[in-house]
Structures are given as structure tokens and as C-alpha cells.
């Protein structure tokens, strides 16, 4: 039976990226060695990381003056690296979910970190709109897509202070005006590569402004200076990232991905709104294109486990909502084909007919 992968992360990857990575695991570039056993400083691997950086810059139209890094530690390590490198007197955070809350918690270890707005009282089911960014802040931090609660910032914010964004789950899903950001970062395991590599896009001139001493490994300048090679980088995930970036370019880039992602979301949200058994959990204007969250309507809540089992029997994988919200979550990342979304919609319609 065909499987339809709605996992929130690690998640679906382009089939060609998986196949080419599998080949490279056996024999990379005709070297007779696996990608897992070559030197990261070898003449074979250097073109991989160099092309990955160039494709980042090309696809996102990154202006001059920014560096692209491939690091370890996941987005969670960036929660502390960001204030380590940028927080001198005060930082501002928009609290839109679990990961934004964790980023704010880490920043408070380094100095004053203020929450400019939060949707926590409504279980993070919307993106706050009416707030003021303090102009005396060293930076303003946002999480552009909230995987657990299914909300997303659909436009790039105009910030009076340097803007820093966690784009772990929606990077490359739409065009982004990188010039509006001081830094963009994210774990790769949702829209780019297997778990193990973290991407960072940072504006070089904003670094080196804090008075504190920064440990060598936690200083972005260290990794810029050595081209992400200060220590051994996650070689295999970087290779898969390159394959995904090539795939994105072959399809026409980020405008095409945005078009495809919007079509998938319209299809599934349309069925959620039509079907008497289900309802969405996020405010309509803030609904995520990446993580579509929904629950059973009140009078049908006792059917939740039954629908989960029914969907599984139809090949749906990873639909169970996060434990903090329950219900269902269909993660529709770039690599998920619209045929899988249609299969889920058909499954929902068939289940509705039973009741």
C-alpha cells in the first residue's frame, strides 16, 4: 500500500534526494567510498557544501553581505546562540507557540528579554497583530511557522530593529525578502534534509557588537571564517540538502513552491471546513500552509481514535496531533505531493459517509 507521509519532522523528502543520497551512501561520486566516510575537507566534499551555499543564495535571492552556514545542534542550540551573539541590553520576542517560548526562555539567561505579545491564552491559535516592537531592543525574534499549533506568518515583518527568524518548518516554502532580516535559522529536518544539520543565514556586519566573551564554537564569526568547517560538519545531511535544493531549482524555485503549497492547503482546509465531522483549530487568517491542524467537531469527538485507525488503514502516516493539542496534524511540506493531500481528503469524505 502506498504511504502518505504527513510526519511533522523528521518528515518527507523529495524522492530524488532520497535516492541520490542512498547511492552516495554506497559510493559517493565514483570515489569507491561512502559519503559517510569521506573527509569533510576532501576535494570531493568541498564542491557539495559550496554548491549548497550558492543554491541557498540563489533560491532565496540573498543579498550581498550575508553568510550561509551549516551547523550542528538544531534550532534549539540557536535559541542560545542568538542572544549570545546579539543581546547586549534588551531583546524582544513574539510568543506564538512552544518553540518561540523556548527561544524566549533561553534569551532571558543572557539579559533582559521581553515578550511583546503572546497568543498563549488562546492556546496559540492565532498570530498576535496589535503590538509594538521596542525600538531600544537589540533585535526582534519571531517564529514564522508554528508546527504544533498550525499558525504561520505569511509576510515578512517590517521591524525597526534587527529582525531574527526561526524558519525551521517553512524555509523554501515561499519567497522571502531576506534583506528584512538580520538572521534566519532553522533545523533542516522539515523542509530540507534529514535531522542533523542546521542552517543559518546571517548579516555579517551585525556580528561582534556585544561586549561579552563568546565561546569559540558559539560565535558565528568562527563558522563564517572557516566556511562551516571549524569542526566536522554534518556531511550526509548537507549532501541531502544539496539534492533538495537542486530539486527545488528544477521545479522553478520558491514562487512555484508557494503556488503548490497554497493549492495543497486550499484543498485540505476546504474539506475541513466542509466536512461536518471536523473543524480547524487555527484562526483562518493565520492558518499554516505547512502544518494543517484540525480536530473532530464536539459531537463527534468519540470518533477520534476510530478516524485515526481508519486513516492509518488507508496509508496515512503521521496524522496524530501533537500531545499538547490532540486531534490531527497534516504536515504538508514541499516534498508532499498534492496526490497525498487528495488521498487524505478522500479518506475524510469516506469516513463522513459512515456517520
C-alpha cell at 203: 548579516
Judge if the upstream peptide bond of residue 157 is cis by omega within 30 degrees of 0: no
Residues sharing a CB contact under 8 Å with residue 340, sequence separation 6 or more, in sequence order: 4, 5, 6
Contact 183, 165 (CB under 8 A): yes
138, 156, 170, 190: the catalytic one is 190
Residues 6+ positions from 345 with CB-CB distance below 8 Å = 267, 268, 271
Do 188 and 241 touch, CB atoms closer than 8 A? yes
Evaluate whether 343 touches 315 at the Cβ level (below 8 Å): yes
Residue 21 φ/ψ, nearest 5 degrees: -70, -40
Residue 247 bears catalytic tag = no
Pairing of strands 145-146, 140-143: unpaired
d(CA 224, CA 228): 6
CB 122 within 8 A of CB 258: no
CA distance 133 to 135: 6
Question: Is 314 assigned a catalytic role?
Answer: no
Q: Which is the catalytic residue, given 138, 156, 166, 170?
A: 166
Does 99 qualify as catalytic in the annotation? yes
Q: What span, in angstroms and rounded, lies between the C-alpha atoms of 348 and 350? A: 5
Which residues carry out catalysis?
Answer: 99, 166, 190
Amino acid at each position: 500500500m502506498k504511504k502518505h507521509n504527513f510526519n511533522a519532522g523528521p518528515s518527507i523528502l523529495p524522492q530524488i534526494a532520497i535516492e541520490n543520497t542512498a547511492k552516495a551512501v554506497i559510493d559517493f561520486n565514483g570515489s569507491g567510498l561512502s559519503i559517510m566516510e569521506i573527509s569533510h575537507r576532501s576535494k570531493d566534499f568541498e564542491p557539495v557544501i559550496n554548491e549548497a551555499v550558492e543554491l541557498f543564495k540563489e533560491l532565496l535571492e540573498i543579498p550581498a553581505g550575508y553568510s550561509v552556514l551549516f551547523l550542528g545542534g538544531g534550532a534549539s542550540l540557536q535559541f542560545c546562540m542568538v542572544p549570545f551573539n546579539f543581546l547586549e541590553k534588551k531583546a524582544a520576542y513574539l510568543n506564538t507557540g512552544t518553540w518561540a517560548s523556548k527561544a524566549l526562555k533561553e534569551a532571558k539567561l543572557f539579559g533582559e528579554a521581553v515578550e511583546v505579545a503572546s497568543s498563549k491564552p488562546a492556546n496559540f491559535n492565532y498570530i498576535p497583530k496589535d503590538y509594538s516592537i521596542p525600538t531600544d531592543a537589540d533585535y526582534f525574534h519571531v517564529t514564522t511557522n508554528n508546527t504544533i499549533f498550525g499558525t504561520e506568518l505569511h509576510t515578512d515583518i517590517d521591524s525597526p530593529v534587527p529582525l531574527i527568524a526561526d524558519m525551521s518548518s517553512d524555509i523554501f516554502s515561499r519567497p522571502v525578502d531576506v534583506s528584512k532580516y538580520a538572521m534566519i535559522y532553522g533545523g533542516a529536518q522539515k523542509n530540507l534534509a534529514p535531522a542533523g544539520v542546521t542552517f543559518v543565514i546571517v548579516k555579517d556586519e551585525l556580528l561582534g557588537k556585544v561586549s561579552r566573551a563568546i565561546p569559540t564554537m558559539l560565535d558565528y564569526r568562527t563558522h563564517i571564517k572557516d566556511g562551516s568547517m571549524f569542526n566536522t560538519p554534518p556531511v550526509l545531511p548537507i549532501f541531502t540538502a544539496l539534492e533538495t535544493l537542486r530539486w527545488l531549482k528544477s521545479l522553478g524555485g520558491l514562487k512555484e513552491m508557494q503556488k503548490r503549497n497554497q493549492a495543497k492547503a486550499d484543498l485540505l482546509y476546504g474539506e475541513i471546513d466542509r466536512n461536518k465531522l471536523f473543524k480547524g483549530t487555527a484562526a483562518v487568517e493565520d492558518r499554516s500552509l505547512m502544518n494543517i491542524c484540525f480536530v473532530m467537531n464536539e459531537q463527534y469527538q468519540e470518533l477520534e481514535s476510530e478516524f485515526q485507525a481508519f486513516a492509518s488503514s488507508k496509508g496515512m502516516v503521521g496524522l496524530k496531533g501533537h500531545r499538547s493539542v490532540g486531534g490531527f496534524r497534516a504536515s504538508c511540506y514541499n516534498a508532499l505531493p498534492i496526490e497525498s493531500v487528495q488521498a487524505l481528503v478522500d479518506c475524510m469524505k469516506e469516513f463522513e459517509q459512515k456517520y
